[in-house]
Amino acid sequence: MAYHVSMSNAYERSFVSQLEQRLIAESPRIQVLVGPRQVGKTTGVKQLLARYPYASHYANADDLLNTDRTWLLEQWQKAVSLGRQTLLVIDEIQKVPNWSDTLKSLWDKDPQSIRVAVLGSSSLQLQKGLTESLAGRFELIKAHHWTFHEQKVAFGYDLDRYLTYGGYPGAVAYEDDFDRWYAYLKDSIVEAVIGKDILLNRRVGNPALFRQAFEILCRYPAQEISYTKLLGQLQDKGNTDLVKYYIELYSGAFLIHPLEKYSVKNYLTRGSSPKIIVSCPALYAMNEGPQFLEDREKRGRIFETAIGSQLQQLAGNLYYWREKNLEVDFIYKYRGKIYAIEVKSGRRKSSRGLDAFIKKHPSVNPVIITPEIFPVFSEDPLMFLRKIS
């Protein structure tokens, strides 16, 4: 079956209106839009520019072989020449050397001269500049992987299709040829993230081992795994600090979300084994193949990780809970409320963990999510949790 992708250009993701509201407000700060590669950040910004009520100037640092401070200064001056409400958008801002210092200098001279939005696909590259140079001058917006609801509306996905291919709209056109689909994800997304966003900006002694670690991590969706066990599967000597560092880098690059174990004692949370949430189903399916859905255990795990990855997109804090053989899939804390979320997916598991957690924390809001309820949850997770609690 050949899939059509024309709707992806018409579909507007929620971050677009959020960005628009901030930019048309009085005295906005610099807006910084970050997120994974190939999830529609540039498309969304161009949708905004098409209806922006004043002048705008868009420039992409990725279009030039060599960018420097002078290039960024030139883009700023072009925007200023168009008027005080002009919106300046710089895409792939992290490609400009010393971009944060330059932007700080220009902004501080007249912070209300123009409106500014910058985009970046590498959180690792942007982090340092934001915290050191632009502190107090920016607001951050994250564009995450596509949810089930988004791909259902844009491309007509059902649950099985999302659990196999979900997360990247650009890959939809290749779903009828798995080898081509795999090559697109491997070369255009995963390798681009590892090679360009991580290895060029962080010190990694053994790149081959680092790539192997990612493949291993993707085999454990929605599973708690000790650093020692992960280290034992790497074909090299090392220590648990190395594994922690690798996970930290993949988390900063939007590929893996490690969850800490919930505890009222913070030191126990920090020392816990992580529960691995793969950021979207496609990153699991590319190594397992589409036939994994026939395995009830694997299907259940990737369904759980799809829920976890969407919970992770929300404001607040996400954990898992375990005591001996009792567990709760997700513990979500937001605005003083605690939600204990159990996923029912068809795989064999006990509900005793949820009962035990409720006894320990009587004020908790218990939540059960099944495949039948999942579409409602995916449309607006926070509203879903508020309604049933």
Domain ranges of the chain: 7-142, 203-388
Phi, psi for 82 (deg, rounded to 5): -90, -10
> Which CATH superfamily groups domain 7-142?
P-loop containing nucleotide triphosphate hydrolases (3.40.50.300)
Could you give the CA distance from residue 353 to residue 328 in angstroms, rounded to a whole number?
6
**Cα 139 to Cα 232: distance, rounded to the nearest angstrom:** 41
Give, for all 389 residues of the chain, the pLDDT tens digit. Answer: 444 444 445 899 999 999 999 999 998 999 999 999 999 999 999 999 999 999 999 999 887 766 678 999 999 999 999 998 999 999 988 888 889 999 999 999 988 899 999 998 766 667 777 877 888 899 999 999 999 999 999 999 999 999 999 999 999 999 999 999 999 999 999 999 999 889 988 899 899 999 999 999 999 999 999 998 888 888 777 788 999 999 999 999 999 999 999 987 765 556 689 999 999 999 999 989 989 999 999 999 999 999 999 999 999 999 999 998 999 999 999 999 999 999 998 766 777 999 999 999 999 999 999 999 999 999 999 999 999 87
pLDDT at position 9 is 57
Residue pair 165/283 in contact by the 8 Å Cβ criterion: no
d(CA 320, CA 311): 12
Task: For residue 386, give the amino acid letter.
Answer: R
pLDDT for 348: 67
Please tell me the total number of residues recorded for the chain in this structure: 389
309-315-316-321 Cα dihedral, nearest 10 degrees? -10
